[in-house]
Structure 1
Amino acid sequence: MTEPDEPTTPLSRMRFSWQRDQDQPDAPASERAPAAQADDVALPWDDESETTEATPARKGLERPAPPSVPDARRTDPDAWAREDLGELNDSPTARNGRERPANKQRRSGRSSPKGAPAAERRPAGEQPRAARQQASAATATALRPSAKGDFDVPMAGRRFSGGRGAHATLKVGLILTACLVAVGVVGYMAFALGLSAGRDNNYQLSKADIARYRLTTFPLDQAGRFAADYARICLTHDATPGAGDQREAQLSRYVSAGTDSRCGWNGQGSQTVLDASWTGESEPIDVPGYTGKSRMMTVRVLTSTGSRIVAVPVYVADLASGNGMRVIGDVGEMPQPTLATVPEAQPPAAVDARLGEALTQGEFFQQFFAAWGQSNGAALQRFVTPDASSRTTGGLGGSVSTPTIQQVEVFLPKGVDPSTPYNWKTGMVTQAWVWVSWQTPGVGSKATEVRAYRLQLVKTTEGTSPSQEWAVRDIRGGVPDIQGG
């Protein structure tokens, strides 16, 4: 591959400082070729004629000062011919193994003198060593750092020295520091989260809270059921031979050592227990060894002879789980709850006797309770609203039968005078209390029971009779006693 046949510029003859040092590795500094001034290097604003006169500044740049050291190429035009040609090959192949045509020579910025012999002329593109050294020195001087901000061009493969390298190091240091800080923050948060998760976050009631709200850490429900089971066995008396031994064996599973194994019974007479339940009342036992883990539980026992109230002392070994329960003493008979005097109650509103009588005579309540008692869904659709409750649409499932309406009270809106007829409008809601007599189940049974209900009625339409205008939205059991109602 041949090089283009173009004139070379002085910049093509320029050599870097490290190339100049390689050309004279062993020569002392005093014997090395003098460094050319920066003016020997072709600059972008130089003319092809290489005049020494300063040219006007272009784009804010100024021409460097003229050199103080004379250039050998300018003082001695025959410097090209006097250099030793021993290191050059006589063949047309130039350095670096590239061929050039014999009849062409590369044009440089300064040609050989005219009239020189052909044998003394150098091949095209070649420069004498002294010129190359001077150009290299000039380039090194021009590129050496100075007060104007110049800098060296490093050797290929090497790095800049100075501010750019320090700036890169600072960047790397800042990035690494930020990464370490982020890792530290994440690690601290993970440690704190794990530490908080390992703690017991269950709220513990203080003694003041327990006293204020009458709370306790004692397992009252478990202890109440345990005391009720013991009272059921204790109050069951059977004088049949062998029944007493079986009773004592059952009681021994509940009592601790030293407690009466017969629960105070002498083995005479008979008594059965129908029901036994804890009343919700208890009292702490303040005895050394039992303090904090034992309470006197009040149990109501319904027997064949009547209702009985007994107090059963219960000890709990593990308050958290309720395990380790024992009856730690004898039971005590207690009086029945005190009965209170009931105050006189008033009805919630005035009664619309006219509407109640119309619904009763139109058999609205009779037909509704007949379908409701048998859970007849098809029949109930005629008497319930679309948004009726599940109690209303479910029914009793045939647990009782043959309803008979005993009494009905339909209430007017509050503040309405019952002495004048009231005109009910569509969409209005009222409440009705109904007493129904049911026949109890059983083959050939003639027993009846009266039950009371509270019904929510809605006027759904305008009809020819009240029984066609009203529907049941909800039904609930039980009616309070009202004096004068």
Structure 2
Amino acid sequence: MSVLKTVVWKVLNLPEPRPKDSAPQAEPPQQQTTPSAGAAQWVAAGKRVKAERNGHGTATVATEPKQTTRTPATPWVLQEEKSATRALVTTGRIALWSVVALAAVTGVRSWFWPNEPAPAPPVTVKQGPTYPVQDAQAVASRFAYSYLTWDEADPDQRAKALARDMPKGTDTSAGWNAKGQQTVLLAQPGEVDELGGKRARVHVDVLVSSPGEPSKDKKKAPAPAKRKWVGLEVPVLYTSGRIVVTGEPGIVGVPTSGPSVTDQNTADSDVELSAQTQSTVETFFTEYAKGEADSVTAPGASVPPLPSGMTLQGVQSWNVDQGKGSDRTGTAVVRWQIGEAELEQTYRVELTRVASAAAERWQVAKVHGGTS
């Protein structure tokens, strides 16, 4: 603690404290002058006269007191500070006064320019869909099913079905002459075009079936029913928390082909590995059709079985993509027989190399339909 106090006292540039047990220094004695012989006689005479006046009778000449010499106390001696101590004191003073100056400046600045709180980060609000697309698709599909289904034997059934999705008071029997018969087998909703003002137009693809033309020969059976795809565009409005059909829809055509696409990149084939794993893939697809794929797949793999009734006619082609490592992928073109029909299909098959103490082999880990 004494060392710490000394450092603090030096940093603050204060005089060092006096120890508690130290006696105050005596002032240096004043130099006494010895009177001369003549002066001494006059002093002695004065003392005699004074004694006679006081009634002491004969006075004796006082002898001169012995002079005692006092040893003066040793004054404080200034000791020169070491260079390391002097550097420490200087550094401490600079640091201390820097803190004091910083506190003073900061306090004064805060009087005139108070600290303003940092602006809060902007809040991002995720906007939901501008239109209830799924609700519009559901209502349009149901309406298309009712609209394209009619039976002249029961015309009121169609009118009641249409009333569920049209505004109250709408004449749902209008637009049909109450003749003929048609049934909807499937209604598939498609694109929803927003038109503004909470209005939209929904495209629905509908598969309809109509009875065949009756035969003029009563002994012959009527022609089979005809199936076809038709498109229906339905105008809808979002109001009062639900979707309603605002008017008569329109039948439109269905595309006969898809749009053009760029050629897909085909990976280079690993000819050697393809030949090496050809039998592995053929065995897998044979057991795959039997529902026993787990017996020929890699440990831990799980491949659901195919539907019953599929028989392997052969693996038309098998090519493993170029690559490295113990996991590889290839493309298999397989021909199946389903009843009397034959189908050619494409699969992406993932292989993994399984090693044991005796040997190693490739086994199927996963299988996916298609080439995408």
TM superposition score normalised by structure 1 = 0.42
- How far did 1:470 drift? 1.0
1:306 is aligned to 2:228: yes
Deviation at 1:263, TM superposition (A): 6.3
Q: Does 1:438 align with 2:336?
A: yes
Cα drift, residue 311 of structure 1: 1.7
Structure 2 CA distance for partners of 1:463 and 1:408, relative to 1, 3 Å:
farther
What amino acid does structure 1 have at the position aligned with 2:287?
A: A
Residue in structure 2 matched with residue 371 of structure 1 by the alignment: 287
- SS of corresponding position for 2:182: coil
Unaligned runs of 5+ residues in structure 2 are 1-122, 210-226
Structure 1 residue 462, shift from structure 2 partner: 8.8
List runs of 5+ in structure 1 lacking aligned partners. Answer: 1-200, 415-423, 481-485
User: Which amino acid in the other structure matches residue 235 of structure 2?
Assistant: P
Please give the residue correspondences for 1:40-439 in structure 2 after superposition, counting only pairs within 5 Å.
203=125, 205=127, 215-216=129-130, 218-239=131-152, 241-242=153-154, 244-257=155-168, 259-262=170-173, 264-284=175-195, 286=196, 291-292=197-198, 294-304=199-209, 305-319=227-241, 323=242, 325-337=243-255, 339-347=258-266, 349-360=267-278, 362=279, 364-376=280-292, 380-381=294-295, 383-388=296-301, 390=302, 392=303, 394-396=304-306, 398-413=307-322, 428-439=326-337
Q: Residues of 1 paired with 2:308 and 2:331: CA distance?
A: 21
Deviation digits for residues 400-448 of structure 1 (CA, Å, limit 9, x no counterpart):
422222322323425xxxxxxxxx8xx52221211222333xxxx3223
Structure scoring higher RCO (CA < 8 A, sep ≥ 6) equals: 1
Q: Which has the higher strand share?
A: 2
Partner of 1:474: 366
**Cα deviation digits, residues 157-203 of structure 1 (max 9, x gap):** xxxxxxxxxxxxxxxxxxxxxxxxxxxxxxxxxxxxxxxxxxxx994
Equivalenced residues, count: 232
User: Conserved in 2, the CA contact under 8 Å of 1:260 and 1:330?
Assistant: no
CA displacement at 1:477 relative to structure 2: 0.8
CA contact (8 A) 1:463 1:469 kept: no
State the shift of 1:454 in Å: 0.6
Look up the equivalent residue of 2:294 and give its one-letter code.
L
Does the aligned pair in 2 maintain the 1:248–1:262 contact within 8 Å? yes
AA paired with 1:380? D
Query: Following TM superposition, by how much is the alpha carbon of 1:471 offset from its aligned partner in structure 2, in angstroms?
Result: 0.5
Q: Report the residue type matching 1:433 in the other structure.
A: T
Pairwise CA RMSD of aligned residues?
3.2
CA drift at 1:476: 0.7
Give the corresponding residue for 2:346: 452
Structure 1 residues 259 and 311 mapped into 2: Cα distance closer, same or farther (>3 Å)?
A: farther
Q: Which residue identity is paired with 2:363?
A: A
Paired residue secondary structure (1:303): strand
Displacement of 1:227 after TM fit? 0.8
Could you tell me whether the CA contact under 8 Å between 2:235 and 2:248 is conserved in 1?
yes
Question: Structure 2 CA distance, aligned partners of 1:263 and 1:221?
Answer: 28
2:10 maps to none
3-state SS of paired residue (1:469): strand
Q: Name the CA distance, whole Å, in 2 between partners of 1:238 and 1:463.
A: 73
User: Using the alignment, how far apart are the partners of 1:264 and 1:355 within structure 2?
Assistant: 66
Q: Which amino acid aligns with 1:327?
A: V
Is residue 297–residue 364 contact of structure 2 (8 Å, CA) maintained in 1? Answer: yes
2:316–2:335 CA contact under 8 A, matched in 1: no
**Equivalent residues of 2:188, 2:204 under 8 A apart:** yes
